[in-house]
Amino acid sequence: MLLARAGIAVLVLLALAAGAGSAFGAWRFLSTTDALRVRELRWSGLERATADELATLSPVQPGDNLVRADVAAVEKALLKHPWVRTAEVRRKLFPPALEVSITERRAAALVELGGLYLVDREAQPFKRAAPGDGLDLPLVTGLSRDDYVQRRAEVEPLLAGAIALVDGYQAAGLAEQAPISEIHVDLESGITIYVGEQGTQVRLGSGELPQKLSRLRRTLSALGADARRAEVVHLDNRAHPTWATVRMAGGVGGPIDVSSTGSKAGGRGPRGP
């Protein structure tokens, strides 16, 4: 904006020097001359949004006067596009044009809110999901549209926690081994995730998620090839926080000690049928 204003000031001075007679006369000349009509809108940073979509939203179009162009109004209008997170517009004097720099939202998950919506990394739903989006993202369930509208102060931290969980899961080295397909959030029971091709249910509960993800990694390592047969993994045992309880296909299973000092089966540890 400052550079754009400075450019206009320079043009005013040039017009005065050329004999426009007064500041008002210079301004009138610059704001009406055909030489300063916008030739084009130049876009950068586009991935999901298209130039045609954004041009339709812009209140300034090619042919409009560059000096009179309200760049703040353009920036505000472009934010109406669901993929646009920020927009910065600058005047380009030679040749006359608007240079538009776009920062797009990054979809981090899908959330079910009476329909599927994309959620960005700031945990803000910003767009109803459409087939053309082509995104393979974890699904957040357990919330309703009424929850989001009427209890937003409670729901937004849950969504933020779900997005943080996706990052933590990646950092724990679990995403490639057993990618998350669903994150179920509940105000009472906390977070449950479904992972891997078989959809193993992992009950994380509330709090200490980094520690629990670390225990999950050690649990899967302890199970080895049998991890594919795990149906449910409990990591929310407050009485024994270093233990994971695993139920295998067929109903067998039991607790596993996954403390940092070692991993071993205990009690009725998981075993084959």
pLDDT tens digit sequence for 49-76:
999 999 999 999 999 999 889 999 999 9
Is 182 part of a structural domain of the chain?
yes
The CATH number of residue 182's host domain is 3.40.50.11690
Is 18 part of a structural domain of the chain?
yes
> To the nearest whole number, what is the mean pLDDT of the chain?
82
Domain total in the chain: 2
What are phi and psi for residue 116, nearest 5 degrees?
-85, 130
Q: Please, are residues 214 and 229 in contact by the beta-carbon 8 Å criterion?
A: no
Q: Model confidence at 228, in pLDDT bands (50, 70, 90)? A: confident
Is 273 part of a structural domain of the chain?
no
Domain span holding position 163: 107-265
Cα→Cα distances 50→40, 58, 72, 130, 167, Å: 15, 13, 20, 16, 29
For residue 89, is pLDDT > 60?
Answer: yes
Q: Supply 13's token pair.
A: 């001075």
Same domain, 100 and 120: no
Same domain, 72 and 122: no
Same domain, 81 and 172: no
Q: Supply 126's token pair.
A: 């910003």
What stretch of H or E contains 160? helix 152-171
Residue range 21-46, pLDDT digits in tens: 555 666 676 677 777 899 999 999 99
Residue range 139-197, pLDDT digits in tens: 999 988 888 888 888 888 888 888 889 888 888 888 888 899 999 988 778 889 999 88
CA distance 198 to 216: 16
Same domain, 69 and 114: no
Which one has a higher pLDDT value, 6 or 199?
199
CA distance 78 to 32: 26
For residue 268, is pLDDT > 80?
Answer: no
Among the three residues 40, 75, 104, which one is the final residue of a domain in this structure?
Answer: 104
Which residue pairs, CB below 8 angstroms and at least 24 apart, start in 245-254?
A: 246/219, 246/270
Same domain, 24 and 118: no
